[in-house]
Chain A
């Protein structure tokens, strides 16, 4: 695949995205988010805040959830990048997507790619997360529609756990 060129100061980078080596010519400061969206036309990763506050741009870097909006392309190196577009190709990603659909989590859907990336990274490391684990792993991802109740339940469903909220003692 030919390299995608960016005007101005551009350096050639070969980055590993979803199992493929991709060449891009980009400003070293250019965030991975915009490399994905505008140079590689991978629109699944979303722009929300540009400053790592909302998590809409979450991708995996060597499996770790990472805010691509503040990750310069020059910092990526040879790390393996996984985006929402490749989630259906991993067992955990597939389980998370299925649970998201089964529980009808989505409202507007804009944050959900980032939510799914954070959730799948959590489950890959911690297959049976507690509610506290979920709070910790997911509180960097804002859902403006506030679908948190269902996100929590869907993570548990993907983990094969009962979806009841252990924090809810007032039943």
Chain B
């Protein structure tokens, strides 16, 4: 068993007498009980699970502990969401510990199992953890504090109102007596839990943990090289596996030289898996199982498979570009947004612009290749998975193997990167299937080529823009014909555009429309899905418009945003403010970049976050691009919960976007991905990474997430900087340095 086991929650439920309090208004449960071995156990589940188990509330097994206090005062907080490098295993317990009023140094954190009935939703995606948990988990901590105060008040026979807490102690204010949480825990656990909606929360000015930097709690183990990741999992009797899938997406196996493979060193078994056409499920392929992964990977070199490649074999990047061009001369198949009369407004415009933009498919390229360990036995399966979305994986495994959800145990193992890739659980169902067939616990590991060629790609896209300006340079008319992917009027995953895409509702005459091309390649969310592509095209074309109007590109954007107001979910004032902040911090309009250098700006609203960014870039001899610096101004509400983690996320997101813009494209030929490793799919490296200066604008709004929203604007800000430096407009990604040569 991997050593990481000791950080996994045992799932031990409360064994003592339980008292439940139901909060209809918040649709959340809070339950107290005596933990195994004594102590306070505080159970809570988030909205969304109440309906499913409203009738089962008397059963302790359907509830879960997030907080335990041992009689010796040790505080254990369970972190319920998957850790993918976003720092959630540290951040969620900070919310609880703050209101519980304990010292951070006294807190021990355990990773939860996947169990939605106990924990509510557990996923890493959409920068959702902060908005979903900011208040909910603080209330869990506050409720625990209330119970401890009540226990103390009873011990002293004094009113609770005379009690306070400080650093893991309850203090009776008039007499200055105190009792530690450890001594109160057993008694507190017998008390009814308070009403979550009524528990008092701290005034933020009294925060001691929230707002202070707390380094990642597993980082000491990371830097020591301890086995923490999915790839490091080892269970007794475990075999290893490789799984060879069709190079053409959706292809299936007709036959393979299994006998040859079975005779290779280290191979115990090889078999054909007859998977179906559903991408986020079991694919067809050949599984090779044995004692040593490297030998199995070597055995692959002798593998000969006859594939039924299917219809996708005719698809290619080149073909999509031609189709998109052809479609661009027709009207969009579907109107997404329509205001005024674009055609006549363009006709009456003093100045019109037209531009075609495109961007490629992208792979997630998590540095830890996809892997999963599964042990099928006795009609049940135990899974150790680096996953962002464990319960979705459970459903797929249950369906594919004909099991019930309850037969599947999933340990959420620290992920060596997520970026959206591990929201899909194809590798999980593969591991479970292979374990069942092999009759042993199996660790499935993909090699890098498998990983790059069997992804759920950020979809490519083609945009055909038109704009019209009046005599004063004001934007009168705007249209986009987005040629994307999908079938029967339904866009492929992450290939859609909605009616709120800026500048919709900010231009009197506007039309956004979509046409779809059928696609046989799996697509899915990549960090800031949709936004990571749409920000590039819209904020670049708006830059073209600003230049056509001979206006300052930053001020032109502020003017386009107009009055401070709410437009749907979008607050123009918050965006104007971060634009003003990044103008100030970057010295926009005050610097004079040297020849060959320029500054560009862009903004984007995604995942509830308001981000405006400025890039300073230089184009040197032979078109060599140097990104000199990035300034980020972000608005994510009233509180940065963990400043060190927040800054790290924002810097990483900005650099991630720069990496995408400079070097990344997945191309398709004959239904296959051409790229296979980091020599042809280029991730950003140290020598390319500029300094990134991060500024947060605090507002009165509730805090929101940071995994994604800093990424989208950096790409157009970079392209706009390159235009300022050279006069060359980047309309296609990745940036082609030959354009500057």
Report which A residues bind B (CB closer than 8 A). Answer: 6-9, 27, 29-31, 34, 38, 41-51, 53-54, 56, 83-85, 87-88, 97, 100-101, 104-113, 116, 134-136, 138-152, 165, 167-170
Contacts and interface: CB of A to CB of B under 8 A. Distances in A.
B368 A51 contact: no
Contacts of B223: 87, 97, 100-101, 106, 112-113, 116
A44 B684 CA distance: 23
Contacts of B448: 48-51
Interface stretch (B82-90, B404-412, B553-561): B82-90
B294 A144 contact: no
Interface string B358-388: 0000000111110000000000000000000
A155 to B, nearest CB: 10
Contact of B416 (A34, A101, A110): A110
Interface of B: 84-87, 213, 215-216, 218-220, 222-229, 231-232, 234, 240, 264-266, 290-295, 297-298, 365-369, 414-419, 445, 447-448, 587, 591, 616, 628-629, 644-645, 648-649, 651-652, 655-656, 659, 677-679, 683-687, 689-692
Nearest to B371: A47
A6 B265 CA distance: 9
> Which 3 A-B residue pairings sit nearest by Cβ, starting from the closest?
A44-B225, A8-B265, A108-B85
Contact of A139 (B266, B298, B417, B686): B686
Contacts of A30: 294
B418 A108 contact: yes
Contact of A41 (B87, B220, B234, B677): B234
A139 B683 CA distance: 11
Contact of B678 (A49, A83, A107): A49
Contact of B291 (A7, A51, A107, A135): A7
A145 B686 contact: no
Given A107-B85, A108-B417, A34 B294 contact: yes
Contact of B225 (A54, A87, A152, A169): A87
A112 B231 CA distance: 15
Contacts of A100: 219, 223
Contacts of A113: 222-223, 225
A104 B232 contact: no
A100 B213 CA distance: 15
Question: Which applies to chain B's interface (DSSP): helix, strand, loop or mixed?
Answer: loop
Given A107-B87, A111-B367, A135-B687, A50 B447 contact: yes
A49 B679 CA distance: 10
Contact of A47 (B227, B231, B685): B231
A83 B225 CA distance: 9
Contacts of A54: 367, 678, 683
Q: Which among B290, B414, B651, B689 has the highest number of chain A CB atoms within 10 Å?
A: B689
Given A104-B648, A142-B678, A146-B651, A47 B369 contact: yes
Given A108-B84, A170-B629, A148 B686 contact: yes
B369 to A, nearest CB: 7
Contact of B294 (A31, A43, A84, A143): A31
Given A100-B219, A139-B685, A170-B591, A109 B655 contact: no
Given A47-B231, A106-B222, A144-B419, 13 more contacts: A6-B292, A30-B294, A38-B292, A46-B229, A47-B369, A101-B215, A101-B219, A139-B686, A144-B366, A145-B417, A145-B656, A170-B587, A170-B616
Nearest to A93: B223
Contacts of A49: 448, 677-678
Contacts of B266: 6-8
A48 B367 contact: yes
A165 to B, nearest CB: 5
27 contacts: A8-B295, A27-B265, A41-B234, A44-B227, A47-B231, A48-B368, A49-B678, A51-B678, A51-B679, A54-B678, A56-B367, A97-B223, A104-B219, A106-B218, A106-B219, A108-B414, A142-B684, A144-B366, A145-B85, A146-B651, A146-B655, A146-B689, A148-B686, A148-B689, A167-B690, A169-B628, A170-B628
A125 to B, nearest CB: 17
A165 B644 CA distance: 18
Q: Which among A101, A148, A150, A165 has the highest number of chain B CB atoms within 10 Å?
A: A148
Contacts of B264: 8
A108 B415 contact: yes
Q: Which among A51, A97, A107, A140 has the highest number of chain B CB atoms within 10 Å?
A: A107
Contacts of B216: 104, 106-107, 109
Contacts of B294: 30-31, 34, 38
Contacts of B591: 170
B616 to A, nearest CB: 6
A38 B683 CA distance: 28
B367 A107 contact: no
Q: Which among B367, B448, B656 has the highest number of chain A CB atoms within 10 Å?
A: B367
Nearest to B365: A144
Contacts of A170: 587, 591, 616, 628-629
Contacts of B367: 46, 48, 54, 56, 108, 110-111, 142-144
B225 A110 contact: no
A96 B686 CA distance: 17
Q: Which among A41, A47, A110, A112 has the highest number of chain B CB atoms within 10 Å?
A: A110
Nearest to B85: A108
A107 B295 CA distance: 32
Given A41-B234, A97-B224, A27 B651 contact: no
A110 to B, nearest CB: 3
Contacts of B629: 168, 170
Nearest to B616: A170
Contacts of B224: 44, 84-85, 87-88, 97
A9 B299 CA distance: 13
Given A104-B216, A142-B678, A165-B691, A109 B222 contact: yes
Contacts of A110: 229, 366-368, 416-417
A150 B213 CA distance: 15
Nearest to B648: A107
Nearest to A83: B225
Contacts of A48: 367-369, 448, 678
A91 to B, nearest CB: 15
B713 to A, nearest CB: 16
A41 B236 CA distance: 13
Nearest to A51: B677
Contact of A44 (B226, B365, B416, B419): B226
Contacts of B644: 104
Contacts of A44: 224-227
A42 B687 CA distance: 30
A9 B298 CA distance: 13
Contacts of A27: 265, 295
A147 B216 CA distance: 14
Given A104-B213, A108-B417, A145 B652 contact: yes
Q: Which among B222, B414, B418, B644 has the highest number of chain A CB atoms within 10 Å?
A: B222
Contacts of B678: 48-49, 51, 53-54, 142
Nearest to B86: A107
A107 B415 CA distance: 10
A53 B663 CA distance: 15
A111 B652 CA distance: 14
Given A44-B224, A104-B644, A168-B629, A148 B229 contact: no
Contacts of B369: 47-48
Contacts of A34: 292-294
Given A44-B227, A51-B677, A147-B652, A109 B685 contact: no
A99 to B, nearest CB: 10
B393 to A, nearest CB: 19
A146 B265 CA distance: 39
Given A97-B224, A144-B683, A7 B229 contact: no
Contacts of B240: 38
A146 B368 contact: no
Nearest to B215: A104
